[in-house]
Structure 1
Amino acid sequence: MIISFLVAMDEKRGIGKDGGLPWRLSSDLKRFRELTMGHHIVVGRKTFESIGKPLPGRQMIIVTHSESFAPEGCFSVHSISDAISFARERGESELFVCGGAEIYAQMFGVADRMYLTLVHADSEADTFFPEWDSSEWIEVESEHRTADEKNQYPFTFKVLARKSQV
């Protein structure tokens, strides 16, 4: 099973502001939907609460410390290893890790691939993607997009693979 990060970040690694996304990028949301449809998604409790509901066509696995947090239509676990096991036992081919910052940090050592949307802006974020060693990753795809009426900032879609997986 491939473990993939799916993340949008600004040029300072910002990924969130005031409990939500610090930008509106319609193309990024469309890409998120296309990539994750039919797959398992791992998120932390705070990220799930910012989304507000289970996403149709995907099995959401929520990593939480709470014994009672169990939204209908989702599966709650207490560790990243439980999340990985849950998806693997159900025959998942690619598990998507979709935030937040704590979940990315906990799963960084096991990620094989990164679907990155690099937002060319400083969003004044208050939540950040973990620092990472870019020398461990190789860029396999890159597509630049300009800002328009549906995309607040210019951005670049990138796909990175861990060098040990190439």
Structure 2
Amino acid sequence: MSDVEIRPPRPEEYGAAGEVTVQAYDVDGHLAGDVGYDAELRDIARRVELAEVLVAVAAAGEVLGCVTIVRPGSAYAEISRAGELEFRMLAVAPSARGRGVGEALTKAVLDRARASGLRKVVLSSLDGMHAAHRLYERLGFTRLPERDWRPFPHITLIAYQIDI
């Protein structure tokens, strides 16, 4: 991954980061039945305002992936509690899959937690995001079933955690 830089997005990259996020969700069918979520995924400017956003950028300047890091009680927090960092909307461009981009972004989140003195990182994931679940489990995340939840009757989110 030496050819990929993980950093906050520049304003001129917001559009590309939003599109990468929508494409990543859409190509796997994760936007089906969730009218309007694509607009939230595209809105990098709002996420940057209310959370921390990181992008993975290739040496040539192409945005390959994106993740949103949130604190408990903040606008984008879903399941985090005091002492925990949460991340959401991890996405890798379909053309960049298999290159370690998702792993690099996830490790950057873990680094942010450590640097902040936090002891745990949590996340919610659609129950059908099997590739993401394999990544999380390979990195040491474990299921946190007591925090599984349903934002809508047809959408199930399953929770993961890692102690760092």
TM-score tier, shorter chain, comes to: 0.3 to 0.5
- Tell me which structure has the larger Cα radius of gyration: 1
Larger RCO: 1 or 2 (CA < 8 Å, sep 6+): 1
TM-score of the superposition, structure 2-length normalised? 0.39
